Amino acid sequence: MKAPLKIPHRESNAAPNGNKQGPLDPTRFLPFYALMVFAVLGLTARLVFLQLVKGEEYDIRARDNREDRINIPAQRGVIYDRNGVLLARNVPSYNITITPAYSPDDAIRLQEIYQYVSELTGVPVNTPPLDVGAVGGDTQPPEGITELVAQQESLAPYTPVAVAKDVPAEIAFVIRERQRTLPGVDVQVIPLREYPTGPLTAHIVGYMGPITEQVAEFYSGLGFDPSRDKIGYAGIESWMQDVLAGKNGFKFIEEDVAGLELRTIGEPVNPAPGSNVYLTIDVRLQAAAQTALTRMIEDLNRRGNTTVSQNGVVIAMNPRTGEILAMVSWPTYDNQRFARFIPFEYYDQVFKDPTKPLLNQAISGQHPPGSVFKLIPAAGALQEGVVDPNRTLFDPGQIVITNRYFPNDPGQARTVVCWKREGHGDIDMLHAIAQSCSVYFYQIGGGYEPDNVRGIDIEGIFHYGNMFGYHRRTGVELPGELRGLIPDRDYKRINIGENWSTGDTYIASIGQGYVLATPIQVLDSVTPFVNNGWLIKPTLIKEVVDGEGNVVPIAQSHLPDTLREFVPVGTPGSYQLSPFAIKYRDALPETPEIDPVAVDQKWLDIVRRGMEEVYISGTAYIAELDPIEIEVGPEQFQQIPAAGKSGTAEYCDNIAQRKGICRFGAWPRHAWFVGYAPANNPEVAVVAFVYNGGEGSLTAGPIVQRVLQAYFDLKAVDASRGQ
């Protein structure tokens, strides 16, 4: 019997080689576990950071990558004159565009398309070398179609690039007709501004220009697209910018990485078109005023056989409502040249022109007003009791004034003269205004001991000058208006470093010396004399309407101090709203801001009668101005009485100094005249200013007469048409 087989015993933990090994130590896994914990914590922290801390920011970035906000332009409002004549309108402009992503892949076919577009538009297929077509090496040649499309393809291939801008409509229509055979080529229609009346109304209407980097952030915040939109640079285009511009719309779109629009997100916000603005200007009267001014300037230059004058201003206004009917500043410029873009050559030409065509002299030209200013010390002297209107003062042609600061020094005395060297003799207030007697106004302004006249002095001149609208802006709705200047005793010491002298007061009394005024201030200063004591704010805005013809209330920012435009009735303190103000009564403050002058009505009447006497026996009568007539029947005419004041202001500015015409005793002179009609119930007031024009009644007076005559002629035409 065989013995049983004996199987050797092997312990489970024995190594294959026979060596014994103990159990694994758990601590050996701790670094691995710790690493896993730290990894999980790190990932969790990163997840928390990305989702909670930076989640909103990255969500915005992601949206920005796939979404875009498209700005939709608003249609700009149109500008009309008071009768509906277009002064500024929108016209279509055509750009030829190419979208790179839609262009054919065939290089030969692509070049054929570029060549065809080039032949139509004149834009080169490829950018010429720098020296080709350059003038003196300074002019950059136009960029070629190939380069323009290549640049756009690298940036946003689904966004069209304009390869030819503002092409004629005929070319745009040809492109449209052949669009099926021109893949990628399209016609983009954009609105541009056009100014049908051009230079005639350029200073009033203004012009537009691109949004510059300096103001891009501001206008972007208002919803404008600085790369596309334009803003008003001058005139009404600038002053009424936000009224005319309207409000741009927008829509959100989703696009792919190449810029291809996939869909619209949400509802688009439609643009709100700008409101239309009707001005108070009558283009027909504007043309008549410009013709009267330019013909007089041409006549001056022809008679002088040299360039005597190149500058002048005419403004016509309704003195009861402040509505500006005409405003001419000469020379002017052509704002139509700025309609598409602002050409550097033309802008540089008018900017450097010494006659300053870009400057609206009506509101920004500061000149000594001369004798038209005498109405102010006249009103002040009557109100202060300096002189009785019936009292006569003697004018021997010149008087010697004593310097009150050196009364015992004959060397400090000064002789002042009247324009009429033999003098006017005994003269009262009424005829001193009519004859423009300077010696009379020297006495009531600066005082004169021999006749026991104390004068209102420079403090009174300053006070009443401000009261009648000098030394401050009128607030007419145009940018760039200047204040003018009525000096006080401190002015000379602060600005010139000298003390005020007695002679300075005398010269200021007749609107000379340091006294400066703009033409619109001179015209406005007359309104209290014909308007029962109220200084009326000039305005160019007749009404603002929306696209459906509804009157739109104007924000107070656009009609600053609006309604000074009250029509006084009866004595000062009682008034009624002008027709213009009635339309905007909801915008009026509870306590209307108006400007009554602190002069009794009886004294204003004296000054007004003096202005009427100007035409009866004064400077206008001497100048033999043509009477204003209206036709009342077949070959029957009725004369319309007028009133006004002439002014001749000596000056010696930098232009006169360069010409060498500043000669003591024979200073060059500006011509002024302000007139209104009918004298008893004024409908229209006109001021004319001619730079270096000489005698006011002889040069500016006829201009005023022709404008007044044109006003009544146009009124008769409108009446015959039933307007």
Which run of H or E residues covers position 429?
Answer: helix 429-435
One-letter amino acid for residue 679 of the chain:
A
Query: How much is the average pLDDT of 603-623?
Result: 95
Which run of H or E residues covers position 149?
Answer: helix 145-155
Query: How much is the average pLDDT of 681-692?
Result: 96
Greater model confidence, 107 or 202: 202
The neighbour count for residue 137, using CB atoms within 10 Å, is 7
Say whether pLDDT at 54 is over 80. Answer: no
Q: How confident is the model at residue 65 (pLDDT cuts 50, 70, 90)?
A: low
Which run of H or E residues covers position 705?
Answer: helix 696-720
Greater model confidence, 414 or 452: 452
Say whether pLDDT at 41 is over 90. Answer: no
Query: How much is the average pLDDT of 236-247?
Result: 92
Give the CATH architecture of domain 370-602. 3-Layer(aba) Sandwich (3.40)
Distance of CA 597 to the CA centre of its chain: 29
Query: How much is the average pLDDT of 667-680?
Result: 95
| Residues recorded for the chain | 723
- The bridge status of strand 398-401 relative to strand 393-395 is unpaired
CB 479 within 8 A of CB 485: no
Say whether pLDDT at 11 is over 90. Answer: no
- The bridge status of strand 208-210 relative to strand 276-279 is unpaired
What is the per-residue pLDDT across 483-541, written as a single tens digit (0 to 9) for each? 889 998 898 899 888 888 888 999 999 999 999 999 999 999 999 999 888 898 899 99
CB 707 within 8 A of CB 719: no
Rounded distance, CA 222 to CA 606, Å?
54
First to last CA, the chain: 152
Query: How much is the average pLDDT of 110-128?
Result: 90
CB 191 within 8 A of CB 91: yes
Question: Considering only CA atoms, which of 624, 661, 641, 609 is closest in space to residue 712?
Answer: 641
Instruction: Calculate ∠ Cα 291-294-298, nearest 5°.
Output: 135
Q: How confident is the model at residue 137 (pLDDT cuts 50, 70, 90)?
A: very low
CB 673 within 8 A of CB 704: yes
Say whether pLDDT at 78 is over 70. Answer: yes
Domain definitions of the chain by residue range: 67-75+206-273, 93-188, 283-356+603-720, 370-602
Which range, of 163-167, 496-500, 549-553, averages the lowest pLDDT?
A: 549-553
Say whether pLDDT at 629 is over 80. Answer: yes
Query: How much is the average pLDDT of 410-421?
Result: 73
Residue 715 three-state SS: helix
Query: How much is the average pLDDT of 152-168?
Result: 86
One-letter amino acid for residue 547 of the chain:
G
Specify the pLDDT at position 509: 95
Sign for the pseudo-dihedral over CA of 609, 612, 617, 619: positive
Say whether pLDDT at 551 is over 90. Answer: no
Say whether pLDDT at 576 is over 50. Answer: no
Instruction: Calculate ∠ Cα 524-530-533, nearest 5°.
Output: 80
Percent of the chain with pLDDT over 90: 46
Which range, of 154-158, 299-303, 508-512, averages the lowest pLDDT?
A: 154-158
Specify the pLDDT at position 235: 94
In the structure encoding, which two tokens stand for residue 467, read together?
């009261």
Residue 31 three-state SS: helix
Specify the pLDDT at position 565: 35
Question: What's the predicted TM-score (pTM) here?
Answer: 0.82
Own/partner pairs, 471-476, CB within 8 angstroms, 24+ separation: 474/363, 474/520, 474/521, 474/524, 474/537, 474/538, 475/537, 475/538, 475/560, 475/561, 475/564, 476/324, 476/363, 476/520, 476/537, 476/538, 476/539, 476/540
Query: How much is the average pLDDT of 594-609?
Result: 89
Percent of the chain with pLDDT over 70: 85
Exposed/middle/buried for 213, CB within 10 Å: 0-12, 13-18, 19+? exposed
Specify the pLDDT at position 20: 54
Query: How much is the average pLDDT of 64-74?
Result: 74
CB 630 within 8 A of CB 624: no
CB 650 within 8 A of CB 668: yes
Rounded distance, CA 335 to CA 345, Å?
14
Residue 708 three-state SS: helix
What is the per-residue pLDDT across 310-359, written as a single tens digit (0 to 9) for each? 999 999 999 988 999 999 999 999 999 988 878 888 888 888 888 899 99
Greater model confidence, 214 or 362: 362
Rounded distance, CA 608 to CA 680, Å?
10
Query: How much is the average pLDDT of 295-309?
Result: 94
Say whether pLDDT at 240 is over 90. Answer: yes
DSSP string, 308-340: ----EEEEEE-TTT-BEEEEEEES---GGGGSS
> Looking at residue 400, what DSSP letter applies?
E
Alpha carbon distances (Å) from 489 to 494, 499, 509: 9, 7, 14
Specify the pLDDT at position 560: 34
Specify the pLDDT at position 238: 92
Rounded distance, CA 204 to CA 478, Å?
7
- In CATH, the number for domain 283-356+603-720 is 3.30.450.330
Which range, of 99-103, 390-394, 436-440, 512-516, averages the lowest pLDDT?
A: 99-103
Rounded distance, CA 276 to CA 88, Å?
10
Q: How confident is the model at residue 572 (pLDDT cuts 50, 70, 90)?
A: very low
DSSP string, 557-615: TTSTTGGG-EEE-SSTT-EEE-HHHHHTGGGS-SS----B-SS-HHHHHHHHHHHHHHH
How confident is the prediction for the chain on average, in pLDDT? 84
Specify the pLDDT at position 33: 78
Say whether pLDDT at 106 is over 90. Answer: no
